[in-house]
Copies of this chain bind each other. A is one copy, B any other.
């Protein structure tokens, strides 16, 4: 959940996600939509989104087609809905925040 939330916290990545929400698009087609940013920047954003499980990649020759993983997004929203009301995991979250400060670069998902 942490990776997905950090991913969509960046406006540019939300815009990318919206572009590939209802159909597959090649990396170049996505990059062409953002003239104020270089193509590698878009590629890096796509890598973050893929790492967070929010988009899926499919190869077609030299091209790479991206598509939003709407299922993961639905799961994220459902998880957010439950997050605040489930008091049982409060202590775990405090501990998690503690870990974040000490080992800032490492992340893992269950």
A14 lies within 8 A of B77 (CB): no
Copies in the complex: 2
B91 contacts A23, CB within 8 Å? Answer: yes
Say yes or no: is A110 at the interface (Cβ < 8 Å to chain B). Answer: no
Closest chain B residue to A36, Cβ basis: B98
Give the shortest distance, in Å, between A90 (CB) and chain B (any CB). 6
Question: Given A25-B98, A37-B101, A90-B18, does the pair A8, B5 have CB atoms closer than 8 Å?
Answer: yes
CB distance from A75 to the nearest CB of B (A): 13
Contact of A68 among B6, B84, B87 (CB under 8 A): B84
Q: How far is the CA of A80 from the CA of B14 in the complex (A)?
A: 10
Give the 4 A-B residue pairs with the shortest CB-CB distance, closest first: A9-B9, A29-B98, A21-B84, A12-B97
List 30 A–B pairs whose Cβ atoms lie within 8 Å, in order of A's numbering. Answer: A5-B5, A5-B9, A6-B9, A8-B80, A11-B93, A11-B97, A12-B100, A14-B83, A15-B90, A15-B93, A15-B94, A18-B93, A19-B90, A21-B91, A22-B85, A22-B87, A22-B88, A29-B94, A29-B98, A29-B101, A32-B97, A32-B98, A32-B101, A33-B94, A34-B97, A36-B98, A36-B102, A37-B101, A77-B77, A77-B80
